Amino acid sequence: MFSGIITDIGKILNIDKNLPDWKIIIGTKFNINKISIGDSICCDGICLTVINKYEKCFFVEVSSETRKVSNIDVWCEGYEINLEKSLKLGDLLNGHLVQGHIDCYSEILEISNEGDSHIIKVNLPKKIYKFITYKGSVAIHGVSLTVNKVEEKYFCVNIIPHTWKNTNLCHLKKGSIVNLEVDLIARYLVSILDKIKK
């Protein structure tokens, strides 16, 4: 489980696409001595398991199922990704509960400025429409964000300067493909209500 508060921006050092489960090496500023084999790290919103580590980098595997629902196909050497280590008992939850289970990927429709902040307009896929609510939470590339506007085909989030500077969201542009994860509580509430209706 994660909080959606990014603590490092990692860099893809190598991707081996010759196996069914891709092997990826990710460079990081995390203290590698405090990362153990088997740890979960949220990589651009995707929960991935550390299978090996070396100086200033760790290794992960990515299944075909994960590739289907995420933007991993655009990852390449040098590509920067948001990183967050999993929460431990007693850690502060400064964002919202993020599982690292991507629901889908979507496209950035527009990015505009509002004062020092940036407004990002995101295409809203039908499969997650019922989970996206005004002032609700959503994770974009693993970043915990608040929904400021919802329409049938898009939603908007406001990115404050600190988040813009300390995540890879600053690299987004119109047409960029981003990973989306809906709010865990919204998912459970909708599931319960759907069962009651039946």
**Residue 18 is part of a domain; what is its CATH number?**
2.40.30.20
Same domain, 64 and 114: no
In a domain, residue 31? The reply is yes
**pLDDT recorded at residue 91:** 67
* pLDDT of 1 above 90: no
- Of 124-128, 132-136, 141-145, 192-196, the range with the lowest mean pLDDT is 192-196
Domain that holds residue 36: 8-85
In a domain, residue 182? The reply is yes
* Phi, psi for 170 (deg, rounded to 5): -65, -15
Domain count along the chain: 2
**pLDDT recorded at residue 41:** 98
Same domain, 171 and 133: yes
What's the rounded mean pLDDT across residues 90-101? 79
In a domain, residue 73? The reply is yes
Of the three residues 85, 119, 150, the one that is the final residue of a domain is: 85
For 12-68, the pLDDT digits (tens) are 999 999 989 999 999 999 999 999 999 999 999 999 999 999 999 999 999 999 999
**pLDDT recorded at residue 198:** 72
Same domain, 108 and 170: yes
In a domain, residue 95? The reply is no
- β-strands 154-159, 143-150 pairing: antiparallel
Distance CA 66, CA 7 (A): 23
**pLDDT recorded at residue 185:** 85
What's the mean pLDDT when you consider all of the chain? 94
**pLDDT recorded at residue 197:** 78
In a domain, residue 99? The reply is no
Same domain, 111 and 186: yes
Of the three residues 54, 85, 116, the one that is the final residue of a domain is: 85
**pLDDT recorded at residue 8:** 98
Same domain, 109 and 173: yes
In a domain, residue 187? The reply is yes
For 157-191, the pLDDT digits (tens) are 999 999 999 999 999 999 999 999 999 888 888 88
Please state the three-class secondary structure of the chain as a single string.
CECCCCCEEEEEEEEECCCCCEEEEEECCCCHHHCCCCCEEEECCEEEEEEEEECCEEEEEECHHHHHHCCHHHCCCCCEEEEEECCCCCCCCCCCCECCCCCEEEEEEEEEEECCEEEEEEECCHHHHHHCCCCCEEEECCEEEEEEEECCCEEEEEECHHHHHHCHHHHCCCCCEEEEEECHHHHHHHHHHHHHHC
In a domain, residue 33? The reply is yes
Residues 82, 167 contacting (CB under 8 angstroms):
yes
Same domain, 120 and 63: no
In a domain, residue 141? The reply is yes
Q: Using a pLDDT cut of 90, give the percent of the chain over it.
A: 84
Distance CA 146, CA 34 (A): 31
- β-strands 177-182, 8-16 pairing: unpaired
* pLDDT of 138 above 90: yes
Distance CA 72, CA 165 (A): 22
Residues 89, 48 contacting (CB under 8 angstroms):
no
Of the three residues 85, 116, 141, the one that is the final residue of a domain is: 85
Q: Which residue has the higher pLDDT, 197 or 24?
A: 24
Q: Using a pLDDT cut of 70, give the percent of the chain over it.
A: 97
Same domain, 73 and 129: no
What's the rounded mean pLDDT across residues 65-93? 90
Same domain, 66 and 23: yes
Same domain, 68 and 152: no
What's the rounded mean pLDDT across residues 1-9? 94
